[in-house]
Amino acid sequence: MPVLSKKKYKELINALDKRIENLYEALRSRELKSANEGLKRRFHHVHPESMCATKGQDYEIRLAVEDFKAILAEIKKLK
């Protein structure tokens, strides 16, 4: 079981909370702007009301995931 200072513990928890919130925000859903959002020009979703998009762009989601992985790696190093 790792032992660390309360200051270090708070820093890790705050960093983890921040990264979880960033990832959650990027993955939040929203309604489609149009029936063909995310598809090629001539195609459209048959039931667009059953679809949703994420609020974050693809690169924002990738960055949030990588950032989350980084804090998990730091936590994994605890001894």
Pairing of strands 29-30, 53-54: antiparallel
Residue 1 lies in a domain: no
The count of structural domains within the chain is: 1
- Asked whether residue 59 is domain-assigned, the answer is yes
Residue 54 lies in a domain: yes
In a domain, 42, yes or no: yes
Give the DSSP H/E element, type plus range, for residue 67.
helix 58-76
Check residue 40 and give its pLDDT: 76
Contact 35, 48 (CB under 8 A): yes
What is the model's pLDDT at position 58?
A: 94
Query: What's the pLDDT at 45?
Result: 81
Q: pLDDT by residue (tens digit) across 12-50?
A: 999 999 999 999 999 999 998 888 887 877 788 888 888
Give the tens place of pLDDT for each residue, 54-75. Answer: 999 999 999 999 999 999 999 9
Per-residue exposure over 13-41, b if at least 16 CB sit within 10 Å of its own CB, e if not: eeeeeebeebbeebeeeeebeeeeeeeee
pLDDT for 43 equals 82
With respect to residue 22, please indicate whether it lies within any of the assigned structural domains: yes
Q: Report the DSSP beta bridge partners of residue 30.
A: 53
46 within domain boundaries: yes
Domain hosting 55: range is 6-76
